[in-house]
Amino acid sequence: MARFHDLKVTDIHKTIRDAVVVTLKPVNGSAAEFDFIQGQYLTFRRDFDGEELRRSYSICAGKDEGILQVGIKRVEGGAFSTWANTDLKVGDTVQAMPPMGSFHTAIDPAAEKQYLGFAGGSGITPVLSILKTTLTREPRSRFTLVYANKGVNTIMFREELEDLKNLNMGRLNVIHILETDAQEIELFTGLVTQEKCAELFARWIDIRNTDTAFICGPEPMMLGIAAALRAHGLEDRQIKFELFASAQPGRIKRKVSDTDTASQANRTKASITLDGATQTITMPKDQSILDAALDNAMDAPFACKAGVCSTCRCRVLKGDVEMVANHALEDYEVEKGYVLSCQAYPLTDTVVVDYDQ
Ligand SMILES: Cc1cc2nc3c(=O)[nH]c(=O)nc-3n(C[C@H](O)[C@H](O)[C@H](O)COP(=O)(O)OP(=O)(O)OC[C@H]3O[C@@H](n4cnc5c(N)ncnc54)[C@H](O)[C@@H]3O)c2cc1C
Ligand code: FES
C-alpha cells in the first residue's frame, strides 16, 4: 500500500510568474518507489495550522530525464499551491506518496502512432511528461500538442516546448491557443471549444489518423474537446482524461434520520483489507467506505476526497456499493469492481473491500 516518503527539494524555479517547477529527490532509500509512468502524479501532504492538507501534482518530467519533477501553479487563495510558490526552498523536505494514476498508454518502441495532446494552463504537466517520453521512446511516433492559456505570459514551459519542437522537427507540432492575446492566425485566439476543435481538425490537425488523444485542463474545456473528438470518429478507448478539479460537487449524500441511523437496516458490516490485514467494522450506510476506514484508525490512502484523483481506489469483492461521483476510474476498472472509496456508500448489509488489489 502506498505510504508517504520524504523527498528533498533539489531545485525550484519559476516557469512563469505564478508557477514553480520543483525537482525532488527521494531520500532514505525510497528511490525505487518513485519510478513513475509518464503522466502519473504525486500526492503531497502538509500541515497548515494543525490541519493536514493533501494535494496531488502531476510529474512533468519525461522517463528519460532521470529526475522527478512537478509543476505547481498558484491558485488564487489556494493553500498548498501558494505555499509551494512562495515558501518552498531548495533543501526543504516534503512528503509524498509514490506515483499513482492511469493517465497514460503503453509505450511501444516499434509503434508508429499519431498522438494528440490537449492541455489547459497547469494541465500541461502530465501531458508534457507523456509527450517527452513518447518522443524519446517511440522514435517513429508523432505528437501534436494543443496548449490553451490566457496569454503568452501564462504559458508554462514555453521555452522548453520550443526547444523540444526544434529538437524533434517534423515529429512535434505545438499549437498555442491564447484566450486574450491576438495571434497572427485568428483561429488560435479564444477558448478551446468543441467548435474551435472542429475548425482545427478541418485545417490544422490530421484527426483521421490520430491513435490516442490525451486531455488535461478545466472540466468544460475537456468536455468540449472530447465531444469534438467523438464527433470526428475517435472512440472512448482512444481518449484519455486527467481532471485536476471537478466543477461539479458529488451528489448529495442520502439523508438518514437519527432513528434510521441507529437501526440495523441502515448499518453495514464491512470487511476492509489494507496492507494485508483485514478489519471488520460496522458502519452506517450514509458514510463513505473511506471515512469509515479512517474513523476506525485504518491508514487508508486518499487525497482529494472528491472523486477526482483515484488515490483512494479499492476493489469491492462482495456486496454492492453506490459510487456517487467518479471522475477518475475508467469503465474497465469499474467493471472489475474497483471503486473510489471516498465516493462509495454501501448498499448491502455486508460488503468486503480490498485496498491491496
Ligand atoms: C490528479 C491531479 C493532478 C494534479 N496536478 C496538478 C499539477 O500538475 N499542477 C497544478 O498546479 N495543480 C495540479 N492539480 C491541482 C492541485 O492538486 C490542487 O487542487 C491545486 O493546486 C489547488 O490546491 P490549493 O491547496 O492551492 O488550493 P485550495 O486551498 O484547495 O483551494 C483554494 C480555492 O481554489 C479553488 N481551486 C482548487 N483547485 C483549483 C484548480 N485546480 N483550479 C482552479 N481553482 C481551484 C478552490 O475551489 C478554492 O476556492 C492536480 C490535481 C489532481 C487531482
Ligand atoms: S481521494 Fe481522490 S478520488 Fe477519492
The pLDDT of residue 67: 97
Closest by Cα among 240, 191, 249 to 220: 191
The pLDDT of residue 3: 84
Q: Is this model's pTM higher than 0.85 or not? A: yes
Q: Write out the H or E segment, with its range, that includes residue 222.
A: helix 219-231
CA of 18 to the centre of ligand 2 (A): 26
The pLDDT of residue 251: 45
Q: What is the CB < 6 Å shell around ligand 2?
A: 302-305, 307-312, 328, 340, 342
Asked if 324 and 343 count as a contact pair (C-beta separation under 8 A), the reply is yes
Ligand 2 pocket test, candidate residues 308, 321, 334, most atoms within 8 A of CB: 308
Integer Cα distance of 259 and 239 in angstroms: 47
CA of 185 to the centre of ligand 1 (A): 32
CA–CA–CA angle 60, 122, 243 (5° rounding): 90
Low-confidence ranges of the chain (pLDDT < 70): 1-2, 246-264
The pLDDT of residue 182: 83
Architecture of domain 258-354: Roll (3.10)
Integer Cα distance of 39 and 63 in angstroms: 10
CA of 300 to the centre of ligand 2 (A): 11
Q: Supply the CATH classification number for the domain 114-243.
A: 3.40.50.80
Within the chain, all domains assigned CATH 2.40.30.10 are found at 5-96
The pLDDT of residue 250: 45
Asked if 346 and 318 count as a contact pair (C-beta separation under 8 A), the reply is no
| Cβ neighbours of residue 135 closer than 8 Å, sequence gap 6 or more | 62, 141, 143, 164, 168, 171, 172
Within the chain, all domains assigned CATH 3.10.20.30 are found at 258-354
Asked if 128 and 155 count as a contact pair (C-beta separation under 8 A), the reply is no
Integer Cα distance of 183 and 190 in angstroms: 10
CA of 343 to the centre of ligand 2 (A): 8
CA of 118 to the centre of ligand 2 (A): 23
Q: Supply the CATH classification number for the domain 5-96.
A: 2.40.30.10
The pLDDT of residue 247: 63
Ligand closest to Cα of 301 equals 2
Integer Cα distance of 269 and 273 in angstroms: 13
The pLDDT of residue 265: 75
The pLDDT of residue 346: 97
Q: For atom 6 of ligand 1, which residue has the closest CA? A: 57
